[in-house]
Amino acid sequence: MATSAKYIFVTGGVTSSLGKGIVSASLAKLLQARGYQVTIQKFDPYLNIDPGTMNPYEHGEVFVTDDGAETDLDLGHYERFLNIRTSRANNVTTGRIYNNVITRERNGEYKGKTVQIIPHITDEIKENVKKLGESGDYHIVITEIGGTVGDIESLPYIEAIRQMRYEMGASNVIVIHLTLIPYLATSGELKTKPTQHSVKTLLESGVQPDILVCRTEHSLTKDIKAKIALFCNLAPDAVMESIDAESIYDVPLLLRKENLDTVVLGKLSLPAAGEPNLKSWKNFLTKLKNPQDKVTIALCGKYVELKDAYKSISEALVHAGAHQELKVNIRWIHSEDINETNVERMLADVHGLLVAPGFGNRGIEGKIISIKYAREQKIPFFGICLGMQCAVIEFARNVLGLTKAHSIEFDAETPDPVINLMENQKQVTQLGGTMRLGAYPCTVRKDTLAYEAYKKVNIRERHRHRYEFNNAYMKRYEEAGFIASGVNEENNLVEIVEYKPHPFFIGAQFHPELKSTVEKPHPLFMAFVQASYQKKQDQRRNNNE
């Protein structure tokens, strides 16, 4: 393995939300498919140490890595595209950069010097980039800079890029700038001016981009590319389009057509012979685009207005569906909208119910009502984290007769705390990074749905929660057919539950969605989609009889 990695920075211009994460992941995929070891890192220019304390409406989903970091959802895209694992080092925020520098200052490590943005903050940024490159694990490190060039927050990052390029040379450090070419429908024109301005802003900070990737609704003509190239000091082949795609998984192939990978490798003086091996990627896409049938799955959660809050779950359903040549239609159900009166109307025609993770009381009763319906109507049910905890509460109240059962997260006074606070969580007062986080081993019991899905006993899954199944109630649950099919033996924690008399009723205390990738759909999602499709076929049969 090469010891000196090459670095690619991806910056964004004109507006936010252009899909820098997808473009970075797609480029990484193309390079990986050419045999390079690649990783991607994201810098977020906000002051939170990590997104763990942010409301999902602010930030979308929090993606948890194996090593227990709470990170940006773009890391989910990186893992899903590349089928690699990321870690704490792959997501760094301005808050963390400043925190490190200020902690060092308090420890006297700057030996009486004035601590400043340049060089101390920029040095810390560079160190966090090079840490990945110098690990010896990668040929190429892609670093995505969050936000938009021109923002006050981005300045130290752009300066750090300028310095790295100056220090390491243009064949070791390149900059890809992602911009928008807006289309004016009234005049039928694509406009390049915002891109020109955005590149000028970068130039003011001393950074000349090497490649422009232009997001656009309409294909860029040769003339437009030439015009952009002229005004932005680039070779015409370094101006590429990234046209709106039907699926995010099309983007690597679209960027291949633009030669993004070969132009990048050329600039980094790395070999780029032949074609990337995208066989399994293309197989996946073929199945994704040619489903044999469809299945409808209700996703019940309280953040459904913001689809990004459930990104990994919806992608995991896409992966599991595509591998089974099924299109999964998600019916988004707001947990606050569902009640005893309308539950049948909302769920009678779905083939599966997934109850989402979450925090706080809002929408809890709606989740419990939907689970009761799925349990009684034998609709395949999959509960994730809070969804699993709600299944435990529902069962206590409606089957075990513990009518006031609850999680102590929502009712500290409940006589039956079937979901309880972990002993080592009782003293915790700080919010960030203090939950049970990251990958933990789990032992799967044989003769269970979980074992059928995983086909192995020892698994590792990622967690992000404070509360747990209360083992004091285990015996009563098991006697009623509600079993623990996966446990963490070391701490005697229930990790997977199942209701035996039901065709498919399973809850996971961990987040399986975080480990689903294009190449390796998650076994529990595979099993859930399969069971949901089975339900659909049974319904069809019954309707025909």
Q: What are the catalytic residues?
A: 385, 511, 513
Structure tokens at 40: 């991607």
In this structure, are residues 181 and 191 in contact, taking their beta carbons and an 8 Å threshold? yes
45/357 with CB nearer ligand GLN: 357
Residue 359 touches ligand GLN, criterion: CB under 6 A: yes
CA distance 418 to 305: 30
70/144 with CB nearer ligand GLN: 70
184/431 with CB nearer ligand GLN: 431
Residue 464 touches ligand GLN, criterion: CB under 6 A: yes
| Residue type, position 40, single letter | I
CA distance 101 to 119: 11
In this structure, are residues 420 and 470 in contact, taking their beta carbons and an 8 Å threshold? yes
Q: Which of 363, 367, 399, 417 is nearest to 502 (CA)?
A: 399
Residue 110 touches ligand GLN, criterion: CB under 6 A: no
Which residue stretch of 196-204, 257-265, 318-326, 354-362 sits at the interface with ligand GLN (rule: CB under 6 A)?
354-362
Q: Which of residues 333-352 bind ligand GLN (CB under 6 A)?
A: none
Residue 8 touches ligand GLN, criterion: CB under 6 A: no
Which residue stretch of 134-142, 304-312, 333-341, 461-469 sits at the interface with ligand GLN (rule: CB under 6 A)?
461-469
CB of 17 to ligand GLN, least distance (A): 25
Q: Which of 178, 176, 238 is nearest to 214 (CA)?
A: 178
CA distance 384 to 376: 19
Residue 466 touches ligand GLN, criterion: CB under 6 A: yes
CA distance 500 to 287: 33
Q: In the 8-state DSSP scheme, what is residue 220?
A: P
199/385 with CB nearer ligand GLN: 385
Angle, CA 133 vertex, CA 130 and CA 135 arms, to 5°:
105
Residue 467 touches ligand GLN, criterion: CB under 6 A: yes
Among 42, 215, 323, 465, binds ligand GLN (CB under 6 A): 465
Which residue stretch of 114-122, 236-244, 364-372, 459-467 sits at the interface with ligand GLN (rule: CB under 6 A)?
459-467
CB of 111 to ligand GLN, least distance (A): 43
Q: What is the 3-state secondary structure (H, E, C) of 392-418?
A: HHHHHHHCCCCCCCEECCCCCCCCCEE
CA 209 from centre of chain: 28
Q: How far apart are the first and last CA of the chain?
A: 63
Number of residues that bind ligand GLN (CB under 6 A): 10
220/364 with CB nearer ligand GLN: 364
Tokens 């009678």 appear where? 348
CB of 57 to ligand GLN, least distance (A): 16
Structure tokens at 372: 């009761």
Burial bucket for residue 103 (CB in 10 Å: 0-12, 13-18, 19+): exposed
332/359 with CB nearer ligand GLN: 359
Structure tokens at 517: 């990738």
| Residue type, position 116, single letter | Q
In the stretch 418-457, what mask flags binding to ligand GLN with x, by CB under 6 A?
----------------------------------------
Q: How many helices (H) and strands (E) does the chain have?
A: 18, 23
93/407 with CB nearer ligand GLN: 407
Residue 385 touches ligand GLN, criterion: CB under 6 A: yes
Residue 357 touches ligand GLN, criterion: CB under 6 A: yes
Among 124, 409, 416, 495, binds ligand GLN (CB under 6 A): 409
Q: What are phi and psi of 349, to 5 degrees?
A: -105, 10
Residue 410 touches ligand GLN, criterion: CB under 6 A: no
CB of 302 to ligand GLN, least distance (A): 11
CA distance 347 to 540: 16
CB of 464 to ligand GLN, least distance (A): 5
CB of 427 to ligand GLN, least distance (A): 16
CB of 365 to ligand GLN, least distance (A): 15
Among 51, 68, 150, 358, binds ligand GLN (CB under 6 A): 358
Structure tokens at 518: 């294009």
180/514 with CB nearer ligand GLN: 514
CA 275 from centre of chain: 28
CB of 356 to ligand GLN, least distance (A): 8
Residue 74 touches ligand GLN, criterion: CB under 6 A: no
Enumerate residues 6+ apart whose C-beta is below 8 A from 359. Answer: 386, 409
Residue 363 touches ligand GLN, criterion: CB under 6 A: no
Residue 287 touches ligand GLN, criterion: CB under 6 A: no
- Scanning 33-154, the segments in alpha helix (DSSP H) are 56-59, 74-82, 94-106, 122-133
Which residue stretch of 76-84, 266-274, 276-284, 465-473 sits at the interface with ligand GLN (rule: CB under 6 A)?
465-473
| Residue type, position 432, single letter | G
Enumerate residues 6+ apart whose C-beta is below 8 A from 489. Answer: 441, 443
CB of 358 to ligand GLN, least distance (A): 5
327/466 with CB nearer ligand GLN: 466
Peptide bond preceding 119: is omega within 30 degrees of 0, i.e. cis?
yes
Residue 386 touches ligand GLN, criterion: CB under 6 A: yes
Enumerate residues 6+ apart whose C-beta is below 8 A from 505. Answer: 374, 375, 380, 381, 391, 498, 499
CB of 85 to ligand GLN, least distance (A): 20
200/466 with CB nearer ligand GLN: 466
Q: Which residue ranges make up the site for ligand GLN (CB under 6 A)?
A: 357-359, 385-386, 409, 464-467
